[in-house]
Amino acid sequence: MTRRLPPDRHADGSRPEVRRPPIVTVGIPTFNRAGLLREAIESVLAQTFHDFRLIVSDNASTDETPDVVSSFSDARLQYVRADDNIGMIANFNRLIDLTETELLMLLPDDDLLYPDYLTSVVDVLQRNPRVGLLHTAVDEIDIDSRVQRSAARVESKRAWTVEPGRAFLERSMTSIVVCWSSTTYRTQAIREAGGITIDEEAFADLPVFMRIAKSWDIAYLDQPLVAFRVHDQSETARASQGQDEADATARLLTYGQIMFDRRIGFLDEAGLPSGDTKRYRSLATLRYLSDRAGLGAPRLETWSAFAQIVRLYPRILMYPMAWRFLTAQFGGRALRRATYTLGEAALASRRAWSGKA
C-alpha cells in the first residue's frame, strides 16, 4: 500500500517554500527620458528593502527606453509599453490598475529614491493601518544629480507623524503640503479616491491627496528619502520660468487660480459636513486672495473679497494667516480701522445667523 504524503509536504517530509507576493509596487511612468530613467531604476533596485515589484510603464517612447530597461536583469522588474501615447495621467492610472500589492509608490522617471526609502515607509504604513498616504522630506537635485536644496520638508517636531485626514484637509486649503515624488499610497486608498483625474490636470495631485484624506489619515516622515529633480524639461521648471517680470506675474496668477479651482472643485463634490465645507472654503479663498494681493491685485477689490469671507465665516479672524494678510494690506493705523470694520461685519453676520438681527 502506497503512503500518500500531505499535499503541503515534499517527499522527504519537508514543507515547500511558500513565496509570498511582494508588499509594495514601485511604478515608474516614463516617456522619452532614457538617460534619467536609468538612474531612477537603479535607485529602486538599490533599496535596502527587497520585497517589492518594479513596473516601468512606457508611454510609447521613441528613444532608447526599451534598451535601457532590457539592460537590467532583475526578476522584480516588469516592463509594459503602450502602442500609442495615452497621455501622462492615463499612464499613471495604468500603473494603479496594474498594482497587485498592498502598497504603491509612483516614482516620476526623473527622480530618485534613496536606499532606505522603502524600508522606512513600509515600516510606518504597516504599523498604522489607517494611514492611506505617506510622504517624506526631499532633496532637490539638478540635472546632474547634485543637491541644490537639502531636506525640503514640512515643518515637524517628530521623526514621523500621523495626521488625521480632517487636519490634513484644512492645511491643504492654504498650502501644498505633499511632494508627489515622495509619496507611497495604500493601494486601496488611491483606488477609492478614483486615481488621477485627467480633467484636473494641471496640479492633479492635490485633488488626489484631498480625496484620500476624506477617509484616511496621512503620515509624514521628516527625513529626505527622495531626490526630486528640477531641470529644464520638468513640470516644476516650466511652472517657474517666464520671459520677463510681467509674464512671470501672469503665470503665477494663473497657477494661483488653478490651485484655487482645484480646492473649490474638491469641496463642491466632497459631500463634507456644511461647517467643514464653510471653513475650508474660507481658508482656500483667503489663500487665493493673499496670492493675488502679493502679485499686485487692486487693494479695494482684495478688501471687498476679504470682507465677504468674514461675513461667511467670522472665525476666519482667529487664523494667523488672516492677520498676516491684513497687516500686509493695511499696515498699523489702517489695520486698526479695518479690524473695527471687520468686527462689526462679523457681529452683524453672527446676529443674522442666529436670528437675532
For the chain, domain boundaries:
24-236, 242-352
Report the distance separating Cα 154 and Cα 243, nearest Å.
Answer: 31
Looking at residue 322, what is its pLDDT? Answer: 87
Cβ 208 vs Cβ 190: under 8 Å: yes
* C-beta neighbour count of 266 within 10 angstroms: 24
Cβ 92 vs Cβ 208: under 8 Å: no
Q: Which amino acid is at 249?
A: T
Q: Treating both helix axes as pointing N-terminal to C-terminal, what angle do 274-294 and 245-270 enclose, rounded to 10 degrees?
A: 180
Residues 3-23 have a mean pLDDT of 58
Q: How many angstroms separate the Cα of 5 from the Cα of each of 13, 16, 197?
A: 8, 13, 53
Report the distance separating Cα 350 and Cα 355, nearest Å.
Answer: 9
Give the residue with greater pLDDT, 183 vs 242. Answer: 183
Give the residue with greater pLDDT, 130 vs 158. Answer: 130
Looking at residue 26, what is its pLDDT? Answer: 98
Looking at residue 339, what is its pLDDT? Answer: 53
- What is the per-residue pLDDT across 136-187, written as a single tens digit (0 to 9) for each? 999 999 999 899 888 766 666 567 799 999 999 999 999 887 999 999 999 9
Q: Report the first-to-last Cα separation within the chain, whole angstroms.
A: 97
C-alpha cell at 301: 477689490
- Correct CATH for 24-236 of 1.10.10.10, 3.90.550.10, 3.50.50.60, 1.10.645.10: 3.90.550.10
Structure confidence at residue 344 as a pLDDT band (50, 70, 90): low
* pLDDT at 341 > cutoff 70: no
